[in-house]
Amino acid sequence: MAERAAFGARLAAAMDDLGPLCVGVDPHASLLDAWGLSDDAAGLREFSLRVVEAVGGRVAAVKPQAAFYERHGSAGVAVLEETIAAARAAGTLVVVDAKRGDIGSTMAAYAEAFLRDGSPLAGDALTVSPYLGFGSLAPAVELARATGRGLFVLCLTSNPEGAQVQHAVTSSGVSVAATMAAQAAALNAGADPLGSVGLVVGATIGDAARATATDLEAVNGPLLAPGVGAQGAGAAELSAVFGRARAQVLASSSRGVLRAGPDVAALRAAAVAAVDEARAALRG
């Protein structure tokens, strides 16, 4: 098999070509019900594959949320594997939103599951949590680098509880969020056009990046921004949060697109509209 290009380069090309939007595949029980689907593996499969059919090849990335598959046990995980395969067959990058984070051999096992060539759970990138210390992510960093995959490291999230940890100041006088961003930046040093270690930065966090002195532009990696669309973030919010780093942002919209279902054409139209909005806000 030909060597895979680095994730950061592949994502940058996809964002330039298709727009800076990632569609979240979040099969909440309430959404399954709204689509007239059963809250089981069969309903999960129909939902997921219909989303991929609608947006595959038309957006830069899709982001299946692993928890909504895991709640259905092994049958749900099998649907997650099928969803990842379908999106990749459509030529669309897959960010598996599993937020894994642990230490030592356990983190290495998570990395093997989600980043190893040949694993059915491996997409193109994985969300990870650094709050056992950024260094605990080393097995994932190493395997992602070896396989041309990427990571999105939780940095500044929109949940109110997150500030307790992320805004805290270390003994060196630097916020935890800024420390995480700086360590991602070190891993991306010299990468062009983007490094492969990105951050998760909520689109609705307001001035938190400035308040915590977190230099998002210096990360030189992609910034995954959940909260666009139905959760309230539009052009003004994206500008306020990301400023000069806007060109690095991969906006993520879940409910804003998914509520247009179950009709494939309606889903596709909602995704096209979301792409246009993201492009105008981030690339205009």
255-265 confidence digits (pLDDT tens): 999 999 999 99
Kindly indicate the confidence band of residue 284, based on its pLDDT and cuts at 50, 70 and 90. confident
Kindly indicate the confidence band of residue 230, based on its pLDDT and cuts at 50, 70 and 90. low
- The reported pLDDT for the residue numbered 3 is 79
Residue 75 has pLDDT above 90, yes or no: yes
- The reported pLDDT for the residue numbered 237 is 81
Give the residue numbers marked as catalytic.
Answer: 99
Kindly indicate the confidence band of residue 138, based on its pLDDT and cuts at 50, 70 and 90. very high
Average pLDDT over residues 93-100: 98
Average pLDDT over residues 212-231: 90
- Using alpha carbons, select from 233, 200, 237, 232 the residue that is nearest to residue 216: 200
Least confident of 15-24, 38-47, 240-249: 240-249
Per-residue DSSP letters for 100-120? E---HHHHHHHHHHHHSTT-T
Identify the three-state secondary structure at position 251. Answer: strand
- The reported pLDDT for the residue numbered 231 is 55
Kindly indicate the confidence band of residue 2, based on its pLDDT and cuts at 50, 70 and 90. low
CA distance 57 to 55: 6
Kindly indicate the confidence band of residue 79, based on its pLDDT and cuts at 50, 70 and 90. very high
Average pLDDT over residues 14-24: 97
What's the fold here for domain 7-279? TIM Barrel (3.20.20)
- CA torsion 230→234→237→239, rounded to 10°? 150
Kindly indicate the confidence band of residue 116, based on its pLDDT and cuts at 50, 70 and 90. very high
Query: Which pTM does this prediction carry?
Result: 0.97
146-184 per-position pLDDT tens digit: 999 999 999 999 999 999 999 999 999 999 999 999 999
Identify the three-state secondary structure at position 56. Answer: coil
- Using alpha carbons, select from 93, 71, 121 the residue that is nearest to residue 11: 93
- The reported pLDDT for the residue numbered 228 is 80
For the chain, give every domain's residue range. Answer: 7-279
What one-letter code names the amino acid at 238?
Answer: L
Residue 234 has pLDDT above 90, yes or no: no
